[in-house]
Protein backbone atom coordinates (compact mmCIF):
# COMPACT_ATOMS: atom_id res chain seq x y z
CA UNK A 1 0.00 0.00 0.00
CA UNK A 2 1.27 3.47 -0.78
CA UNK A 3 0.31 5.67 2.13
CA UNK A 4 2.85 8.35 2.94
CA UNK A 5 2.14 9.91 6.30
CA UNK A 6 2.87 13.51 7.02
CA UNK A 7 4.91 13.28 10.19
CA UNK A 8 7.06 10.77 12.01
CA UNK A 9 9.76 8.63 10.47
CA UNK A 10 12.14 6.04 11.86
CA UNK A 11 15.68 6.85 12.87
CA UNK A 12 18.32 4.27 12.01
CA UNK A 13 20.88 4.56 14.75
CA UNK A 14 21.74 0.92 15.29
CA UNK A 15 22.50 -0.18 11.74
CA UNK A 16 23.84 1.56 8.69
CA UNK A 17 21.01 2.68 6.40
CA UNK A 18 21.34 0.87 3.05
CA UNK A 19 20.56 2.78 -0.17
CA UNK A 20 17.21 2.31 -1.95
CA UNK A 21 18.44 -0.65 -4.00
CA UNK A 22 19.91 -2.23 -0.88
CA UNK A 23 16.58 -1.85 0.96
CA UNK A 24 14.77 -3.39 -2.02
CA UNK A 25 17.16 -6.37 -2.13
CA UNK A 26 16.87 -6.83 1.63
CA UNK A 27 13.05 -6.73 1.51
CA UNK A 28 12.97 -9.19 -1.39
CA UNK A 29 15.20 -11.62 0.51
CA UNK A 30 13.23 -11.18 3.76
CA UNK A 31 9.99 -11.91 1.87
CA UNK A 32 11.53 -14.98 0.18
CA UNK A 33 12.60 -16.43 3.54
CA UNK A 34 9.21 -15.52 5.08
CA UNK A 35 7.45 -17.35 2.24
CA UNK A 36 9.49 -20.52 2.73
CA UNK A 37 9.15 -20.47 6.52
CA UNK A 38 5.38 -20.02 6.19
CA UNK A 39 5.38 -23.09 3.91
CA UNK A 40 7.38 -24.90 6.60
CA UNK A 41 4.88 -23.81 9.28
CA UNK A 42 2.03 -25.09 7.07
CA UNK A 43 3.81 -28.40 6.48
CA UNK A 44 4.54 -28.64 10.22
CA UNK A 45 0.90 -28.38 11.23
CA UNK A 46 -0.32 -30.63 8.38
CA UNK A 47 2.20 -33.45 8.44
CA UNK A 48 1.35 -36.99 9.40
CA UNK A 49 5.02 -38.05 9.27
CA UNK A 50 6.39 -40.60 11.77
CA UNK A 51 8.37 -39.55 14.90
CA UNK A 52 11.76 -40.39 13.30
CA UNK A 53 11.06 -38.09 10.37
CA UNK A 54 9.82 -35.32 12.68
CA UNK A 55 12.98 -35.55 14.79
CA UNK A 56 15.19 -35.52 11.67
CA UNK A 57 13.47 -32.38 10.38
CA UNK A 58 13.68 -30.74 13.83
CA UNK A 59 17.45 -31.23 13.76
CA UNK A 60 17.70 -29.81 10.24
CA UNK A 61 15.64 -26.76 11.19
CA UNK A 62 17.86 -26.17 14.25
CA UNK A 63 20.85 -26.11 11.89
CA UNK A 64 19.14 -23.65 9.55
CA UNK A 65 18.15 -21.31 12.39
CA UNK A 66 21.80 -21.16 13.47
CA UNK A 67 22.62 -19.58 10.08
CA UNK A 68 20.38 -16.57 10.84
CA UNK A 69 23.00 -14.46 12.55
CA UNK A 70 22.55 -11.05 14.21
CA UNK A 71 19.82 -10.05 16.66
CA UNK A 72 17.50 -7.06 16.42
CA UNK A 73 16.97 -5.39 19.80
CA UNK A 74 13.43 -5.19 21.25
CA UNK A 75 12.46 -1.65 20.25
CA UNK A 76 14.75 -1.33 17.26
CA UNK A 77 12.91 -0.39 14.08
CA UNK A 78 14.28 -2.55 11.22
CA UNK A 79 16.15 -0.59 8.53
CA UNK A 80 13.72 -2.03 5.96
CA UNK A 81 10.66 -0.62 7.79
CA UNK A 82 8.85 2.71 7.62
CA UNK A 83 7.08 3.35 10.91
CA UNK A 84 4.34 4.41 11.30
CA UNK A 85 2.29 4.09 8.14
CA UNK A 86 4.62 2.14 5.85
CA UNK A 87 6.34 -1.20 5.37
CA UNK A 88 6.46 -3.46 8.45
CA UNK A 89 8.32 -6.48 7.11
CA UNK A 90 7.93 -8.52 10.31
CA UNK A 91 4.37 -7.54 11.27
CA UNK A 92 2.53 -10.69 12.41
CA UNK A 93 -0.41 -9.56 10.24
CA UNK A 94 0.95 -7.87 7.10
CA UNK A 95 4.66 -8.70 7.19
CA UNK A 96 5.81 -10.71 4.20
CA UNK A 97 8.86 -11.62 6.31
CA UNK A 98 6.81 -12.99 9.19
CA UNK A 99 6.02 -16.71 9.38
CA UNK A 100 3.06 -15.78 11.63
CA UNK A 101 1.40 -13.46 9.09
CA UNK A 102 -1.16 -14.82 6.57
CA UNK A 103 0.13 -12.20 5.27
CA UNK A 104 -2.67 -9.65 4.86
CA UNK A 105 -2.23 -7.39 1.83
CA UNK A 106 -3.71 -3.97 2.56
CA UNK A 107 -4.72 -1.39 -0.02
CA UNK A 108 -6.22 2.05 0.36
CA UNK A 109 -9.89 2.51 -0.55
CA UNK A 110 -11.90 5.67 -0.79
CA UNK A 111 -12.62 6.33 2.91
CA UNK A 112 -10.75 3.36 4.34
CA UNK A 113 -8.72 0.26 3.56
CA UNK A 114 -9.30 -3.23 2.21
CA UNK A 115 -7.17 -6.24 3.07
CA UNK A 116 -7.01 -9.63 1.42
CA UNK A 117 -5.54 -12.92 2.62
CA UNK A 118 -6.33 -16.58 3.19
CA UNK A 119 -5.88 -18.30 6.54
CA UNK A 120 -4.18 -21.68 6.79
CA UNK A 121 -4.28 -24.60 9.21
CA UNK A 122 -1.80 -22.77 11.43
CA UNK A 123 -4.55 -20.20 12.12
CA UNK A 124 -7.18 -22.76 13.05
CA UNK A 125 -9.65 -22.36 15.92
CA UNK A 126 -12.62 -24.73 15.48
CA UNK A 127 -11.63 -27.50 13.01
CA UNK A 128 -11.69 -26.00 9.50
CA UNK A 129 -12.24 -22.41 10.67
CA UNK A 130 -10.13 -19.51 11.79
CA UNK A 131 -9.27 -18.78 15.42
CA UNK A 132 -11.29 -15.87 16.84
CA UNK A 133 -8.09 -14.19 17.98
CA UNK A 134 -6.78 -14.28 14.42
CA UNK A 135 -9.97 -12.56 13.16
CA UNK A 136 -9.51 -9.89 15.84
CA UNK A 137 -5.89 -9.49 14.74
CA UNK A 138 -6.86 -9.03 11.07
CA UNK A 139 -9.48 -6.45 12.03
CA UNK A 140 -7.31 -4.63 14.58
CA UNK A 141 -4.49 -4.23 12.08
CA UNK A 142 -6.78 -3.14 9.23
CA UNK A 143 -8.52 -0.65 11.51
CA UNK A 144 -5.09 0.67 12.54
CA UNK A 145 -4.33 1.13 8.85
CA UNK A 146 -7.58 3.00 8.36
CA UNK A 147 -6.46 5.43 11.10
CA UNK A 148 -3.02 5.81 9.50
CA UNK A 149 -4.46 6.48 6.05
CA UNK A 150 -6.72 9.11 7.63
CA UNK A 151 -3.53 10.81 8.88
CA UNK A 152 -4.00 9.76 12.55
CA UNK A 153 -1.84 6.69 13.23
CA UNK A 154 -2.93 5.38 16.59
CA UNK A 155 -2.97 2.49 19.03
CA UNK A 156 -6.01 0.41 19.92
CA UNK A 157 -7.57 1.29 23.26
CA UNK A 158 -10.80 -0.60 22.66
CA UNK A 159 -11.82 -3.37 20.26
CA UNK A 160 -15.34 -4.76 20.31
CA UNK A 161 -15.70 -7.97 18.27
CA UNK A 162 -18.84 -9.63 16.94
CA UNK A 163 -18.41 -13.15 15.59
CA UNK A 164 -21.38 -13.80 13.30
CA UNK A 165 -20.28 -16.81 11.23
CA UNK A 166 -17.13 -18.97 11.40
CA UNK A 167 -14.33 -17.79 9.10
CA UNK A 168 -13.37 -20.62 6.72
CA UNK A 169 -9.72 -21.57 6.35
CA UNK A 170 -8.19 -21.62 2.84
CA UNK A 171 -10.78 -19.18 1.46
CA UNK A 172 -9.83 -15.76 0.09
CA UNK A 173 -10.96 -13.22 2.71
CA UNK A 174 -11.73 -9.54 2.43
CA UNK A 175 -11.16 -7.31 5.46
CA UNK A 176 -12.64 -3.81 5.28
CA UNK A 177 -12.02 -0.96 7.72
CA UNK A 178 -12.97 2.68 7.80
CA UNK A 179 -12.88 5.62 10.19
CA UNK A 180 -16.36 6.54 11.46
CA UNK A 181 -15.40 9.61 13.48
CA UNK A 182 -12.72 11.47 15.42
CA UNK A 183 -12.70 13.33 18.73
CA UNK A 184 -9.43 14.99 19.60
CA UNK A 185 -6.77 12.25 19.48
CA UNK A 186 -9.43 9.51 19.49
CA UNK A 187 -10.37 7.78 16.25
CA UNK A 188 -13.50 5.63 15.95
CA UNK A 189 -13.17 2.81 13.43
CA UNK A 190 -15.35 -0.03 12.12
CA UNK A 191 -14.34 -3.15 10.24
CA UNK A 192 -15.63 -6.42 8.84
CA UNK A 193 -14.47 -9.74 7.43
CA UNK A 194 -16.20 -11.53 4.56
CA UNK A 195 -15.07 -14.05 2.00
CA UNK A 196 -14.23 -12.62 -1.41
CA UNK A 197 -16.76 -15.06 -2.86
CA UNK A 198 -19.66 -13.77 -0.72
CA UNK A 199 -18.95 -10.16 0.24
CA UNK A 200 -22.52 -9.59 1.48
CA UNK A 201 -22.28 -12.10 4.36
CA UNK A 202 -20.35 -10.59 7.26
CA UNK A 203 -18.47 -13.28 9.20
CA UNK A 204 -16.92 -11.04 11.84
CA UNK A 205 -17.26 -7.34 12.55
CA UNK A 206 -15.56 -4.95 14.93
CA UNK A 207 -15.81 -1.47 16.33
CA UNK A 208 -12.78 0.11 17.83
CA UNK A 209 -11.32 3.22 19.40
CA UNK A 210 -7.76 4.15 18.56
CA UNK A 211 -5.74 6.89 20.21
CA UNK A 212 -2.99 8.84 18.54
CA UNK A 213 -0.45 9.38 21.33
CA UNK A 214 0.81 12.93 21.73
CA UNK A 215 4.33 13.42 20.29
CA UNK A 216 6.12 13.25 23.66
CA UNK A 217 4.30 10.07 24.62
CA UNK A 218 5.01 8.59 21.17
CA UNK A 219 8.75 9.29 21.51
CA UNK A 220 8.75 7.65 24.95
CA UNK A 221 6.92 4.59 23.63
CA UNK A 222 8.94 4.35 20.41
CA UNK A 223 12.50 5.59 20.97
CA UNK A 224 13.37 4.84 17.32
CA UNK A 225 10.86 7.44 16.14
CA UNK A 226 12.13 10.81 14.98
CA UNK A 227 10.37 13.99 16.13
CA UNK A 228 7.71 15.41 13.79
CA UNK A 229 9.33 17.35 10.95
CA UNK A 230 12.49 15.18 11.12
CA UNK A 231 14.81 15.67 8.18
CA UNK A 232 14.51 12.24 6.60
CA UNK A 233 10.94 12.89 5.58
CA UNK A 234 9.15 9.57 6.25
CA UNK A 235 8.70 8.01 2.82
CA UNK A 236 6.19 5.28 3.53
CA UNK A 237 6.04 2.64 0.84
CA UNK A 238 3.55 0.11 2.09
CA UNK A 239 3.57 -3.40 3.40
C1 LIG B 1 3.47 8.30 16.14
C2 LIG B 1 2.36 7.64 16.56
C3 LIG B 1 2.50 6.21 16.44
C4 LIG B 1 1.22 5.47 16.58
C5 LIG B 1 1.40 3.99 16.67
C6 LIG B 1 0.94 3.28 15.47
C7 LIG B 1 0.99 1.81 15.78
C8 LIG B 1 0.68 1.04 14.56
C9 LIG B 1 0.71 -0.44 14.86
C10 LIG B 1 -0.69 -0.95 14.68
C11 LIG B 1 -0.86 -2.25 15.37
C12 LIG B 1 -2.32 -2.59 15.48
C13 LIG B 1 -2.89 -1.95 16.66
C14 LIG B 1 -2.27 -2.48 17.93
O15 LIG B 1 -2.05 -3.64 18.12
S16 LIG B 1 -1.87 -1.33 19.10
C17 LIG B 1 -1.36 -2.34 20.51
C18 LIG B 1 -2.47 -2.50 21.52
N19 LIG B 1 -2.75 -1.25 22.16
C20 LIG B 1 -1.99 -0.76 23.13
O21 LIG B 1 -1.02 -1.35 23.56
C22 LIG B 1 -2.39 0.60 23.66
C23 LIG B 1 -2.16 0.71 25.18
N24 LIG B 1 -2.60 2.03 25.59
C25 LIG B 1 -1.73 3.05 25.72
O26 LIG B 1 -0.53 2.87 25.64
C27 LIG B 1 -2.33 4.41 25.93
O28 LIG B 1 -3.69 4.29 26.24
C29 LIG B 1 -2.18 5.31 24.69
C30 LIG B 1 -0.70 5.61 24.41
C31 LIG B 1 -2.81 4.68 23.44
C32 LIG B 1 -2.93 6.62 24.91
O33 LIG B 1 -2.43 7.17 26.06
P34 LIG B 1 -2.54 8.74 26.28
O35 LIG B 1 -2.02 8.98 27.64
O36 LIG B 1 -1.95 9.48 25.14
O37 LIG B 1 -4.05 9.00 26.16
P38 LIG B 1 -5.11 9.05 27.31
O39 LIG B 1 -4.99 7.92 28.26
O40 LIG B 1 -5.06 10.44 27.86
O41 LIG B 1 -6.46 8.84 26.47
C42 LIG B 1 -6.75 9.67 25.38
C43 LIG B 1 -8.23 9.60 25.17
O44 LIG B 1 -8.65 8.26 24.88
C45 LIG B 1 -9.65 7.86 25.81
N46 LIG B 1 -9.57 6.42 26.07
C47 LIG B 1 -8.56 5.76 26.64
N48 LIG B 1 -8.87 4.43 26.70
C49 LIG B 1 -10.10 4.30 26.13
C50 LIG B 1 -10.96 3.21 25.89
N51 LIG B 1 -10.62 1.95 26.23
N52 LIG B 1 -12.14 3.42 25.28
C53 LIG B 1 -12.51 4.67 24.92
N54 LIG B 1 -11.74 5.76 25.12
C55 LIG B 1 -10.55 5.57 25.73
C56 LIG B 1 -9.39 8.67 27.05
O57 LIG B 1 -10.56 8.78 27.84
C58 LIG B 1 -9.01 10.00 26.44
O59 LIG B 1 -10.19 10.63 25.97
P60 LIG B 1 -10.48 12.14 26.36
O61 LIG B 1 -10.57 12.14 27.84
O62 LIG B 1 -9.30 12.92 25.84
O63 LIG B 1 -11.76 12.45 25.65
Residue range of the domain that includes 72: 20-221
ipTM attached to this prediction: 0.95
Dump pLDDT digits (tens) for 175-195: 999 999 999 999 999 999 999
Q: Which residues form the pocket of ligand 1, taking CB atoms under 6 Å from any ligand atom?
A: 8, 84, 140-141, 144, 153-158, 184-186, 209, 211, 213-214, 217-218, 225
| Closest residue to atom 47 of ligand 1, CA basis | 157
In a domain, 13, yes or no: no
From ligand 1's centre to the CA of 180, what distance in Å? 17
- Residue 204: name the closest of 212, 193, 190 by CA: 193
Number of neighbours of residue 22 by Cβ within 10 angstroms: 13
CB 227 within 8 A of CB 215: yes
- Give the C-alpha separation, 212 to 5, whole Å: 13
Q: What percent of the chain has pLDDT over 90?
A: 82
In a domain, 81, yes or no: yes
CATH number of the domain residue 34 falls in: 3.10.129.10
Higher-confidence position of 5 and 212: 212
What's residue 148's pLDDT? 95
In a domain, 10, yes or no: no
In a domain, 14, yes or no: no
- Give the C-alpha separation, 209 to 203, whole Å: 21
In a domain, 121, yes or no: yes
If one counts the domains in the chain, the total is 1
In a domain, 115, yes or no: yes
Higher-confidence position of 228 and 96: 96
Dump pLDDT digits (tens) for 17-61: 789 999 999 999 999 999 999 999 999 999 999 999 999 999 999
From ligand 1's centre to the CA of 70, what distance in Å? 33
Dump pLDDT digits (tens) for 191-200: 999 999 999 9
Amino acid sequence: MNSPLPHHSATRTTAEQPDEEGVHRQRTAIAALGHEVRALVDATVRTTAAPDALLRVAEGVRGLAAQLTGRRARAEIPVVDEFPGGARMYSPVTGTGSPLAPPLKVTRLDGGVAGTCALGLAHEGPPGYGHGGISAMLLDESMGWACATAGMPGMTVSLQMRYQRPVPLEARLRVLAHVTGTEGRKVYVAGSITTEEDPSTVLAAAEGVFVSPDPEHARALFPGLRAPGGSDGGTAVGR
